[in-house]
């Protein structure tokens, strides 16, 4: 999981929100305080000036209404000047007196006495003369750039306006005081914010430390580590949350351990199952396949995931996923080729939730190739045995019926009929004997009586027996070593194998042909071969001659008295000796039967 940066952390957000709230509060308080303080200071300043102007107005009223008869008395302008010059100071810059004719009759500024007697051009004075009320304004001095307060106050006598007092006061000092107070307030705000930020950080740490611990624990849990615990700093809501988180961690650990145990059990079961198992999701796409299933279908587990089950099984043309959900019977999957049978059986089981909703499908695959092969061989075996027995029985029945109807009286026909009946009877006896022999070979309780035998002497003795009793013009050629070869075998059973092989070679050898017998030594085996010069076997049928009741030329085999089981019995016996038997043939050139037997080289001195 991506690491949370400092600028995205809840710690910083908490402190920022806390500080911003303090700043906003201080700003609101500061604006309100400054506005009220400014109004209060200006109002106090103006009130103090007005009080002084009221006294001045009373003095000027007396002078302006005074009757002057003596020419030696001071003029009105001189008297006004004497009154005004006492009103200048740090606050009041200039005081002027204007009569009703807009004529300046006095000013407190000694440098501006030249304007006395001139008409005023000040708009505020004219407005006051017109409306006969007090007029005031705060302006900016063009020379100093300071704020000045201009006040025009009417001079009244007996209710009648007789003039106007124009006062100019420097109010910049009031604003300077306000700036100083604001600076003090700003510095206090900065100090308060600093202290607040420190306290906010400490408070944020108190709140966010358990949250950060829970975050780290959540990250550890996401990685599968349930051993950590969140530290509980108190019993408040966050402390209770930490306790609940620890309990949740414990329960998740137990649930994860239980789930992991079940998963391992399921994985072990799936791994060691001999049957293939495939699981799908609710859309029929593969989400799980075990190794046996992948081997049975000859696919890679990685490539088939998310593939539709119908496509994997090769049944998309015959079945849909909904058909498989409703399928009650097994589905046979035939992957057989021309040279090799391969058949699977698929059983389907639906995965359903408690609500009945289908959540997927489980498919179990069984390899039934051998079972089908055994069933087919059993059916074929029964059919072959029935056929093999029916033919001689039908022949015997016909001849016996003929004898019963009177043919026994004919001295020429009766012996021939009896001879055929005897031949067919012997043939059935041989067939039953071979069947019993195969039955014994198939029995698990069948045991060989092995002993150490000089195979060279055994092979020569069997060849001698056939050479003495042969009725055909066939030449035996022996390519056998002149030394002793000791092999551990069951002599009777191996004699029966060689009898069957040599008998077949003699049956199919033409008059004047050769039969070659050979023994070849190898490091751990001996290979003996019997080669004839008969008609041979077609190329596609060479590997089938060891099957039960298989005949290349059925008519000729029955004519020669064969049961079709000789080479099958020979194969069973050779394989029981942990050996191999096979054939090589060219049609029209003859056939060679090879037998390989286990062999350990020994010195003749060991048997002296």
Asked which of 124-133, 180-189, 410-419 is least confident by mean pLDDT, the reply is 410-419
Asked which of 4-8, 170-174, 483-487 is least confident by mean pLDDT, the reply is 4-8
The pLDDT of residue 10:
65
- Residues 283-321: pLDDT tens digits? 888 888 888 888 888 888 788 888 888 888 888 888 888
pLDDT band at 524 (very low <50, low <70, confident <90, very high): confident
Segment 11-24 mean pLDDT: 76
CB pairs under 8 A, 24+ apart, for 572-579?
Answer: 572/438, 572/441, 572/442, 573/441, 573/490, 573/493, 573/494, 573/496, 573/497, 574/497, 576/441, 576/448, 576/493, 577/448, 577/489, 577/490, 577/493, 577/494, 579/525
- Residues 361-385: pLDDT tens digits? 888 888 888 777 777 766 766 666 6
The pLDDT of residue 244:
84
Instruction: Answer whether residue 453 shows pLDDT above 60.
Output: yes
Q: CB neighbours of 403 closer than 8 A, spacing ≥ 6?
A: 414, 417, 418
Asked which of 73-82, 529-538, 543-552, 586-595 is least confident by mean pLDDT, the reply is 543-552
Question: Which of 121-130, 430-439, 453-462 shows the highest mean pLDDT?
Answer: 453-462
For residue 46 the two structure tokens come to 């103006």
Instruction: Answer whether residue 405 shows pLDDT above 70.
Output: yes
Cα 492–chain centre separation: 66
Asked which of 129-138, 234-243, 457-466 is least confident by mean pLDDT, the reply is 234-243
pLDDT band at 560 (very low <50, low <70, confident <90, very high): very low
The DSSP bridge pattern shows strands 331-334 and 514-521 to be unpaired
Q: What is the mean pLDDT of the chain?
A: 78
Instruction: Express as a percent the part of the chain with pLDDT over 90.
Output: 2
SS3 364: strand
The pLDDT of residue 366:
83
The pLDDT of residue 112:
81
Segment 250-278 mean pLDDT: 78
Asked which of 100-104, 309-313, 385-389 is least confident by mean pLDDT, the reply is 385-389
Q: What angle do CA 500, 506, 510 make, to 5 degrees?
A: 155
SS3 165: strand
The pLDDT of residue 2:
45
The pLDDT of residue 517:
92
Neighbouring CB atoms inside 10 A of 346's CB total: 19
Instruction: Answer whether residue 71 shows pLDDT above 80.
Output: no
pLDDT band at 11 (very low <50, low <70, confident <90, very high): low
Instruction: Answer whether residue 7 shows pLDDT above 60.
Output: no
Is the model more confident about 379 or about 20? 20
Q: Is 119 left (phi over 0), alpha (psi -120 to 50) or beta?
A: beta
Q: Are 87 and 108 spatial neighbours (Cβ–Cβ below 8 Å)? A: yes
Q: Which residue has the tokens 């119908």?
A: 310
Instruction: Answer whether residue 591 shows pLDDT above 70.
Output: yes
Q: Are 99 and 105 spatial neighbours (Cβ–Cβ below 8 Å)? A: yes
- Residues 138-165: pLDDT tens digits? 888 777 778 888 888 888 887 788 888 8
- Euclidean distance between CA atoms 549 and 564, whole angstroms: 4
Asked which of 69-83, 108-122, 427-441 is least confident by mean pLDDT, the reply is 427-441
Burial class (CB in 10 A: 0-12, 13-18, 19+), 420: middle
Instruction: Answer whether residue 263 shows pLDDT above 50.
Output: yes
Instruction: Express as a percent the part of the chain with pLDDT over 70.
Output: 85
The pLDDT of residue 338:
76
Segment 82-98 mean pLDDT: 76
Neighbouring CB atoms inside 10 A of 489's CB total: 24
The pLDDT of residue 1:
42
The pLDDT of residue 518:
92
Domains detected in the chain: 11-177 (3.30.450.20), 273-367 (3.30.450.20), 373-442 (1.10.287.130), 451-607 (3.30.565.10)
Instruction: Answer whether residue 557 shows pLDDT above 50.
Output: no
Segment 92-118 mean pLDDT: 83
Segment 230-250 mean pLDDT: 77
Instruction: Answer whether residue 555 shows pLDDT above 50.
Output: no
């Amino acid at each position: 999981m991506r690491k949370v940066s400092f600028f995205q952390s809840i710690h910083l957000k908490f402190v920022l929100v806390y500080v911003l709230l303090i700043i906003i509060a201080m700003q609101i308080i500061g604006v309100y305080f400054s506005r009220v303080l400014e109004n209060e200071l200006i109002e106090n300043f103006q009130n103090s000036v007005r009080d002084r102007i009221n006294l001045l107005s009373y003095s000027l009223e007396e002078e302006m209404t005074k009757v002057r008869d003596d020419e030696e008395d001071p003029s009105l302008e001189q008297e006004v000047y004497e009154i005004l010059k006492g009103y200048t100071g740090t606050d009041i810059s200039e005081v002027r007196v204007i009569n009703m004719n807009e004529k300046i009759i006095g000013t407190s500024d000694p440098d501006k006495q030249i304007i006395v007697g001139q008409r005023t051009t000040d708009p505020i004075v004219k407005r006051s003369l017109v409306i006969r009320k007090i007029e005031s304004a705060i302006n900016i001095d063009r020379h100093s750039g300071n704020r000045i307060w201009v006040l025009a106050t009417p001079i009244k006598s007996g209710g009648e306006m007789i003039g106007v007092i124009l006062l100019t006061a420097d109010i910049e000092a009031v604003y300077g005081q306000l700036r100083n107070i604001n600076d003090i307030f700003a510095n206090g705000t900065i100090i308060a914010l600093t202290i607040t930020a420190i306290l906010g950080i400490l408070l944020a740490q108190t709140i966010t430390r358990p949250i950060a611990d829970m975050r780290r624990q959540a990250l550890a849990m996401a990685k599968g580590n349930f051993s950590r615990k969140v530290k509980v700093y108190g019993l408040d809501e966050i402390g209770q949350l930490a306790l609940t988180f620890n309990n949740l961690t414990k329960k998740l650990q137990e649930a994860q351990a239980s789930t992991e145990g079940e998963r391992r059990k399921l994985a072990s079961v799936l791994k060691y199952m001999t049957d293939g198992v495939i699981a799908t999701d609710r859309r029929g796409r593969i989400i799980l396949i075990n190794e046996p299933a992948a081997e049975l279908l000859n696919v890679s587990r990685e490539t088939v995931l998310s593939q539709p089950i119908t496509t994997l099984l090769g049944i998309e043309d015959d079945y849909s996923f909904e058909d498989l959900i409703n399928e009650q019977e097994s589905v046979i999957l035939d992957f057989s080729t021309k040279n090799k049978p391969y058949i699977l059986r698929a059983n389907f089981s639906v995965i359903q939730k408690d609500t009945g909703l289908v959540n997927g499908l489980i498919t179990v695959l069984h390899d039934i190739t051998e079972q089908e092969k055994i069933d087919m061989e059993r059916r074929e075996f029964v059919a072959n045995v029935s056929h093999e027995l029916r033919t001689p029985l039908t022949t015997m029945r016909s001849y016996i019926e003929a004898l019963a109807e009177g043919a026994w009286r004919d001295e020429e026909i009766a012996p021939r009929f009896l001879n055929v009946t005897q031949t067919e009877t012997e043939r059935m006896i041989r067939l039953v004997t071979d069947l019993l022999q195969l039955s014994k070979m198939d029995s698990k309780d069948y045991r060989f009586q092995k002993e150490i035998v000089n195979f060279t002497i055994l092979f020569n003795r069997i060849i001698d027996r056939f050479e003495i009793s042969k009725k055909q013009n066939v030449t035996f050629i022996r390519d056998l070593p002149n030394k002793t070869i000791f092999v551990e075998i069951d002599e009777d059973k191996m004699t029966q194998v060689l009898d069957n092989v040599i008998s077949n070679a003699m049956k199919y050898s033409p008059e004047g042909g050769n039969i070659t017998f050979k023994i070849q030594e190898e490091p751990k085996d001996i290979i003996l071969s019997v080669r004839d010069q008969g008609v041979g076997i077609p190329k596609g049928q060479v590997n089938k001659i060891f099957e039960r009741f298989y005949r290349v030329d059925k008519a000729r085999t029955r004519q020669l008295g064969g049961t079709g089981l000789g080479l099958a019995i020979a194969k069973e016996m050779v394989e029981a000796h942990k050996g191999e038997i096979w054939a090589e043939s060219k049609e029209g050139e003859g056939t060679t039967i090879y037998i390989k037997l286990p062999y350990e080289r020994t010195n003749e001195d060991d048997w002296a």
